[in-house]
Amino acid sequence: MERIKLTPSAITKAVEASAVIIEGGGVILFPTDTLYGLVADAFSDEAVDKVYEIKGRDEKKPMHCIVADIAMAEKYADISADALLLFERLLPGGLTLILPKRSGVDGGIARGIETIGIRIPNNEFCSQLARAFCKPFTATSANVAGKLPERSIKKILEQFSYASVLQKTSIELIIDAGELPTSQPSTVVDLSGEEPVILREGAIPVGDVWNAIRTEKDN
């Protein structure tokens, strides 16, 4: 596994190297604004299968994706009025929106389901990579299923090696930003039905989500 230390002067190198690997169907370990995650082409069956294998995650549990901006999100998901409010008021940041996927969106994380989970992290590396790759990539925490996410590369790799030595070799590139600050995972809001549903409270308080939606409606 190649490792790139993420510094302001190395971000371009990190983005270019990461884009090449995910374009080729590989998986990288990278930092976000909340936790370290595993990156692969979100709509490649083979690449997404690698991520499920690395994590030991049940394939029936959906994974979400990272996009560069609202314009990219609109190519893959139906953006409701509530979703637009949350995009405009709380993103980029620690929020994942579950939205109805557009017709024709299939493969990878979209296999066999009618929704797609979308993130726009408040993280410069993620933003630049999304623009360089020009498509969504996976946004799932870098941990073995059922174990808590770790904040350092050393502990993450230890966790994977305890589960299976072979899993660790499936990661082709590590973008090392050092030990990340203590943070919760993203807050997850399901907007695929008639009313918003909070599936998980995380980095963004639930009250902020409701305020963003209701303030506009009250006006």
> Does residue 114 have a pLDDT over 50?
yes
Residue 9 has a CB neighbour count (10 Å cut-off) of 8
Q: What is the pLDDT of residues 166-210, one digit of tens each?
A: 455 589 999 999 999 999 999 999 999 999 999 999 999 999 999
Beta bridge partners of 4: 175
The pLDDT-based confidence of 139 (bands split at 50, 70, 90) is confident
| pLDDT of amino acid 163 | 65
Q: What percent of the chain has pLDDT over 70?
A: 94
Q: Which tokens belong to 170?
A: 């499936």
| pLDDT of amino acid 165 | 45
Residue-range domain boundaries for the chain: 2-218
Rounded alpha-carbon distances, angstroms, from residue 134 to 73, 79, 194: 11, 19, 31
> Does residue 218 have a pLDDT over 90?
no
CA gap 62, 180 in Å, rounded: 25
**Section 131-150 average pLDDT:** 94
Task: State the pTM of this model.
Answer: 0.92
CATH code at 2-218: 3.90.870.10
Q: What is the pLDDT of residues 76-98, one digit of tens each?
A: 999 999 999 999 999 999 999 99
Q: Round the average pLDDT of the chain to a whole number and report it.
A: 93
Q: Could you identify the residue written with the tokens 């030595």?
A: 165
DSSP three-state, residue 116: strand
| pLDDT of amino acid 124 | 95
Rg for the chain (alpha carbons), in Å? 17
The pLDDT-based confidence of 105 (bands split at 50, 70, 90) is very high
Count the alpha carbons within 13 Å of 10 in the hemisphere toward its beta carbon: 11
Rounded alpha-carbon distances, angstroms, from residue 89 to 32, 99, 179, 212: 19, 17, 29, 7
CA gap 77, 131 in Å, rounded: 18
Q: What percent of the chain has pLDDT over 90?
A: 87
